[in-house]
Structure 1
């Protein structure tokens, strides 16, 4: 087994280090494992698994949610959120810094993408908050950390990928992501309040006081956003629509919203459609490669033997999760979140199941850890997005995001000690 692990791991490093696409690296690794360590016909297994992974009905929701995010990315949603939220934030310690946190949470609830959340909110809040005199490092940090909520708050693209890879319910995973997402938002807001009390001189004075009716009038710009969230997520939780049906409804509603805002033209429509096609195709290729690698690893018996070896170590579930957390963070320093999920699923799941860890809970844990890797150098994707916007050094941005990385680490500890944070809602909705 040790020789097999060394050969396959070295081959993976060679493929990824050579710049080979992740999907083809997974296919190549699966082919190497089957051809060299089994007598199974490699071509037949590859053909059947790639075909089998490509027609899953659950996977249909993925390109629809991506398309919805692409449409909203090109709309005036971020501008409307800033105008609607800012009057309510003026009297809270930290003031408009909270717009990054709350705005990212709201946008995550309709985009499902960390990168789209970061880019869309950053275009609006970065220049506006720095112009008003807010601490640039904290503005960048709040945006980097809060944008990762796009991976957790439904409809999360990475949760759909995890559900397909592990054959779990997309709707249950979406429900499981709500309370941990709210928990992280609350922790971020609490940190900003404490920071502003500690450094009051770094927070600009509040704007002129706005009356309650003025705040309500400004909040009217949030109505389309909340209507979209209720239409998409509410229909899933209420059992009215499946995730795939809700995704299709979300596309129609986002097209209507963009049209009403005057942000829809033939060119924008085609850009959004092509952007969704490119992203969906990339993810589909990765899932196909991961499916073949999972089958190949099953034939080699590596996951089973590795799980048995882990069992002989006598690790408690907490020790196993601590080791996996470190492993996922290190892996996430070099791969994007979706690649981390599909690459490790085939090997990790037997260990997780052997430790009697709930797979719905594990999906939420995994996404939070992947969120952490999105703001760790050298390949934290959100860091690159912000570097392109600010022109700052990547290490400067990573340092700005460090407090939010540590807060997410605390979040991982909390859902481990209190697993009901992730499992209560799907169990409660399932018992209705």
Structure 2
């Protein structure tokens, strides 16, 4: 009975604070404070100070602001224009033509960004004007970009996977490795959709791109070399066991600074804007993690996570049935909250459930990212939809319609992960990683 009362109090206070436009991190702390005062005898202030300091001072979490800073630096260079010049020669011969630059560009930039919004901004700035000028249909330009930008949450380094790993105390490097194959498969599904549109879609197709010699193609590919080199150094150093995620992130920042110097785009304004952008984003995420850590402690004192886990266990759901229920749950939650908040808000309850059901924690992290990706392009609070609206000035309803096929492909990716879990588990189980997370 206490657990039911605690649940009602937690939900009421949370919605009251969020409805009052209180920041998510502070709202979580407020809910936790009320829970500690009502349901425990431990001093709430002492518990809060200890918990939020422990949650914010994790060494593993150091990778987060570094990866964010790396993405911010690259976002302010001429990388976008260079990426299009390097990708276009190799995409022009594929069915669907240069629409594939949306997918390939998002896949590459996701490997140096870790953020869906940064990936969308970067590749959108590159591809939308170019594809429009070549006569590609607007709904295909926007739809493929909306879906492909979500790869920023999947392809390492993923900020969502870092937060998930810190929350469940799992190796960040292993989670990064687990995201490689699913991310590439999802990219392949998006490209298959473009090919299917080319052969079966209605409406006028753009004129074929002019021919180009192989030597010219190789010459244009030099514009891709800097970013591909950075991807190899950052990601390769983790996978080959030379660096932890935090060390690789530090190398990435140095590499991004060197790249911007080489391009001649590093000045005091770019440097300070990138640093402040990374600081703002990192502080926001850290505040959410602090609130979530305090809320987890408060919930633990009430016994709520254990009671809910036992309740679901009493339904005797199979692991697949549990995954189906959680898919629907996170899709609904993602319609009203951003992905990071969804993860930190729910893991105190969900983690005991998946461990009790025998579900691999690494695999579940990848599954969770795919579902959160899907929520990024579903209204009413699909974050990528709002970013695209600002870039294109289209109505949210129009952008959401263009993304419907991509949502279907991401749900198909969930099914693929359930049928072939080895996609996410093979690399972490078979490749040696460096010391630490």
| TM surpasses 0.5 | yes
Cα–Cα, structure 1 residues 319 and 40, in superposed 2: closer, same or farther, change >3 Å?
Answer: same
Aligned match of 2:261: 259
The one of 324, 328, 335 aligned to 2:330: 328
Match of 2:97, SS state, is coil
Q: 1:202 Cα shift? A: 2.9
Aligned match of 1:411: 413
The one of 126, 129, 133 aligned to 2:128: 126
Match runs of 1:200-279 below 5 Å:
201-279=203-281
Equivalents in 2 of 1:208, 1:97: separation in Å?
Answer: 15
Equivalents in 2 of 1:91, 1:201: separation in Å?
Answer: 20
The C-alpha deviation readout for 1:123-179, integer Å capped at 9, x for no partner, is: 121111112110101100010000000001000111111111110000000000000
Aligned match of 1:349: 351
The one of 50, 55, 58 aligned to 2:57: 55
Match of 2:431, SS state, is helix
Match of 2:224, SS state, is helix
Q: Retained in 2: the 8 A contact 1:196–1:202?
A: no
Aligned match of 2:197: 195
Aligned match of 2:180: 178
Equivalents in 2 of 1:327, 1:116: separation in Å?
Answer: 26
Equivalents in 2 of 1:431, 1:238: separation in Å?
Answer: 6
Match runs of 1:378-417 below 5 Å:
378-417=380-419
Q: Retained in 1: the 8 A contact 2:238–2:433?
A: no
Q: Retained in 2: the 8 A contact 1:333–1:377?
A: yes
Q: 1:78 Cα shift? A: 1.4
5+ residue gaps, structure 1, are none
The root-mean-square deviation of aligned C-alpha atoms, in Å, is 1.2
Q: 1:2 Cα shift? A: 2.1
Q: 1:431 Cα shift? A: 9.0
Relative to structure 2, which stretch is displaced further, 24-33 or 37-46?
Answer: 37-46
TM-score (normalised: structure 2)? 0.97
Aligned match of 1:75: 77
Q: Retained in 1: the 8 A contact 2:367–2:414?
A: yes
Are 2:378 and 1:372 aligned?
A: no
Q: 1:200 Cα shift? A: 6.9
TM-score (normalised: structure 1)? 0.98
The C-alpha deviation readout for 1:268-311, integer Å capped at 9, x for no partner, is: 10000000011111111111111111111111110001100111
The one of 18, 22, 25 aligned to 2:24: 22
Cα–Cα, structure 1 residues 201 and 376, in superposed 2: closer, same or farther, change >3 Å?
Answer: closer
Relative to structure 2, which stretch is displaced further, 422-431 or 297-306?
Answer: 422-431
Aligned match of 2:296: 294
Match of 2:77, SS state, is coil
Equivalents in 2 of 1:346, 1:202: separation in Å?
Answer: 51
Q: 1:201 Cα shift? A: 4.8
Match of 2:41, SS state, is coil
Are 2:141 and 1:143 aligned?
A: no
The one of 20, 34, 40 aligned to 1:32: 34
Q: 1:203 Cα shift? A: 2.2
The one of 45, 48, 51 aligned to 2:47: 45
Equivalents in 2 of 1:200, 1:248: separation in Å?
Answer: 48
5+ residue gaps, structure 2, are none
The C-alpha deviation readout for 1:169-190, integer Å capped at 9, x for no partner, is: 0000000000000000010011
Q: Retained in 1: the 8 A contact 2:335–2:380?
A: yes
Equivalents in 2 of 1:262, 1:191: separation in Å?
Answer: 38
Match of 1:43, SS state, is helix
Aligned match of 2:109: 107
